[in-house]
Amino acid sequence: MSRLKTWSIHAGIWVVIALVAAGGTALWLLSAPMREAAPPLTAGLSGSWSEQSIAFDKRVRARYAIGATDQSLGADLVKQGFTRSDWGSSPAAEHEASRVKKGLFCREIFNVYWRADTADHLTSVRGEHPAPTCP
């Protein structure tokens, strides 16, 4: 076998190894959000999407009692990775905070909705976990 042919085979093998390593690294980096620990409100949900949404709603209602302060709910949601999306809305409006879990191909959304009275005490609270969105 000629030196050129041997060199070409070796170069081809190294190119394949590099491509496999790059692809594996890319998959590992893209899956990083899936490896992060889920907060208590969203951890361990299983079953169909409707079952998960019902379980999430129950967790939200159990954790945030009617009469608790709007401020304590908001602070706890921020600690759990939720972002309030209705800043500046009317105090009488239903408020919303969301947490997005990005996966390799899909993303899951967890929403918490609540209302508070003029003294900033919760009058209603509920959770929703719609089906994931995938491209």
Q: Would you list the domain boundaries of the chain?
A: 31-128
Q: Is the dihedral of CA 59, 55, 35, 132 positive or negative?
A: negative
Q: Is the pTM of this model over 0.85?
A: no
What was the pLDDT predicted at 30?
58
Note the pLDDT tens digit of each residue in 82-125.
998 876 667 678 999 999 988 778 888 999 999 999 898 999 99
* pLDDT at residue 4 tops 90: no
HSE-CB at 13 with a 13 A cutoff on CA atoms is 6
What was the pLDDT predicted at 24?
60
Note the pLDDT tens digit of each residue in 51-78.
999 999 999 999 999 999 989 999 999 9
What was the pLDDT predicted at 102?
83
**What is the band of 14 on the pLDDT scale with cuts at 50, 70, 90?**
confident
Give dist(CA 132, CA 104) in Å, integer. Answer: 12
The DSSP symbol for 2 reads -
What was the pLDDT predicted at 133?
81
The helix or strand, by DSSP H or E, that contains position 115, with its residue range, turns out to be strand 107-116
